[in-house]
Amino acid sequence: MTTNDAVYTKDIDKKTLHVVRSFAASLEQVWKAWTESEMLDKWWAPKPYRAETKTMDFRVGGYWLYCMMGPKGDNQWCRESYKKIEPRQAIHNDTNFCDADGNISNDFPTMHWTKDFRGDTKETTVSIEILFDSVADMDTVVKKGFREGFAAGLNNLEELLSI
Amino acid sequence: MRRDVFQAIADPTRRAILSLIALQAMTPNALAEQFNTSRQAVSKHIKILSECQLLRQEQVGREIYYFFNAKKMKEVDNYLQQFRANWDSRFDQLDNLLKKQKNKKP
């Protein structure tokens, strides 16, 4: 098992969250895992959720439309709109909640993501920067993560207890 | 209006007030002198911070002092911890996926 702990930092003044994580795999492989929907579906959703891609058009102006499916039938459609792509180096995208047709919902803030990839044939580091339009937006997103994480924790407990 | 830690830190003046009183307890006058805005504006922020429980006031002798409530501030970190837990779960799955792929290679 690799022990590549992720590093998390927040900068409230700059309205950003940072996540940095290394993977014991080539840049080529890691890039694929972040940019091909068949791969993303296998890991993108935090447990016990799963991600299912409806459409993906990985190019500037295109978007990835997928559904986050909860164990209790709770679904959330999400959309990543690609703003800038530098192959094997960086992806800039906006992330939104949306409906099944990709129509963006205004109930949830836009997040501006930058993902940087740096690596060789053995190890690859991904740096993620999530920029919010306001601190209040940051609050909404982090709190939603809190609720979902909490629900996930309870579900895992349920699983454990039913054995 | 919402009164929680996030509301409190959403404003730059309030963050500045918190930074100041985190270093040392301050009187209303001393605090107001640090800002170019009106005294009323500062006391409005103090009221919000106090309602969010990040600031408490205490009478010390003749003066009122504002104190920073560090315990409450920890709530922000607690929220982030969950955010972190979600990402850790994701990354572990990606590790497994990458490992599987590596093993598939001849």
CA distance A135 to A51: 28
| Phi, psi for A34 (deg, rounded to 5) | -95, -10
* Three-class DSSP labels, B11-28: CHHHHHHHHHHHHCCECH
pLDDT in tens, A141-153: 777 765 555 555 4
Q: Is A157 on the interface with B (CB under 8 A)?
A: no
Calculate how close chain B gets to A75, using CA atoms only, in Å.
Answer: 17
Q: What pLDDT was estimated at residue A106?
A: 87
Q: Which of A143-147, B52-56, B80-84 has the lowest mean pLDDT?
A: A143-147
**86-145 in A: which are within 8 Å (CB) of B?**
134-136, 138-139, 142-143, 145
* DSSP one-letter string for A114-150: EEEEEE-SS-EEEEEEEEESSHHHHHHHHHHHHHHHH
pLDDT in tens, A58-76: 999 999 999 999 888 888 8
CA distance B29 to A19: 41
CB atoms A145 and B91 under 8 Å? no
Nearest CB to B98: which of A23, A146, A152? A23
Q: Which residues of A touch B88 (CB under 8 A)?
A: 6
pLDDT in tens, A2-50: 456 777 777 777 888 888 888 889 999 999 999 999 999 998 988 888 8
Omega of the bond prior to A48 within 30 degrees of 0, cis? Answer: yes
User: What does chain B come to in residues?
Assistant: 106
ipTM over 0.85: no
pTM, full prediction: 0.69
Among B98, B100, B104, B105, the strongest candidate for a mutation testing the A interface, having the largest count of A CBs within 10 A, is: B98
pLDDT in tens, A102-117: 999 988 889 999 999 9
